[in-house]
Amino acid sequence: MIDIVFLLLTGLIAAYLCWYFFQRYNLNKALHNLYYLMGFAVLLVSGLLLIFLGLGILKSPYVLTVASLIPLGISMGLAEEYFPQWKIYFKWFAAIGFLAIAITSIGNMDAIKKIAVPLFHGVAGLVIFVGPFVAKGAPKGFWWVGIGGALIGLGGIALAFITMGTQLLFFSPDFVMLILTPLLFLMAGAFALGFAKRG
């Protein structure tokens, strides 16, 4: 029951952020808002699926593939908005990463997946974590997005290791399942605090 409460709260925050970035995109047609919107729309849908189908769906390769759009979308948004000098390279990196995760997950290529998933999830999470702290012109308090990035990176990589049948440090399957829904809620809350600073 407590998992459903956390997932509902996460869904409400994700829905707010989807509305927020949709409004911002309509205001100035800036592409980065669409990337942010994609990331939080996937978070919203993922949360709803977890509510109705249970945490067992996390073992599905299709869910792993689609969920990778959360960190990839948010990190592409940050690259587009604050790091224009390397946004094109990062878009290629994200596209290759998504295809690599999709092909290795759905195709049961476990050996390659053990490299692809942590690599692309890790880099995207690192961009979301570090980016807000070094972004020029970012509003005060935008560092909250970095906190959200740390949480999404940690949770995503730990979950990825479990779906591959291995364990990351002390993140056992039972421990990850215990902290997953509160982690999603805290992550979404941190993102909302950070992005709301922009007005």
Rounded CA-CA distance 11/48 in Å is 7
Rounded CA-CA distance 180/158 in Å is 10
State yes or no: pLDDT of 124 exceeds 70. yes
Alpha carbon separation from 199 to 9, 21, 24, 32, 189 (Å, rounded): 22, 11, 10, 16, 16
- Annotate 73-142 with DSSP letters as a single string: HHHHHHHHHH-GGGHHHHHHHHHHHHHHHHHHHHTT-HHHHHHHHHHHHHHHHHHHHHHHHH-TTPPTTT
Rounded CA-CA distance 46/71 in Å is 13
Task: State the average pLDDT over residues 130-159.
Answer: 84
Task: State the average pLDDT over residues 1-22.
Answer: 92
Contact of 154 with 180, CB cutoff 8 Å: no
State yes or no: pLDDT of 161 exceeds 70. no
Q: Is residue 1 classed as helix, strand or coil in its secondary structure?
A: coil
Q: Is residue 171 classed as helix, strand or coil in its secondary structure?
A: strand
Task: State the average pLDDT over residues 91-104.
Answer: 89
pTM above 0.85, yes or no: yes
**pLDDT band at 65, cuts 50/70/90?**
confident
Task: State the average pLDDT over residues 94-113.
Answer: 85
The tally of domains found in the chain comes to: 1
Q: What range defines the domain where residue 50 resides? A: 2-196
| Residue 122: predicted pLDDT | 79
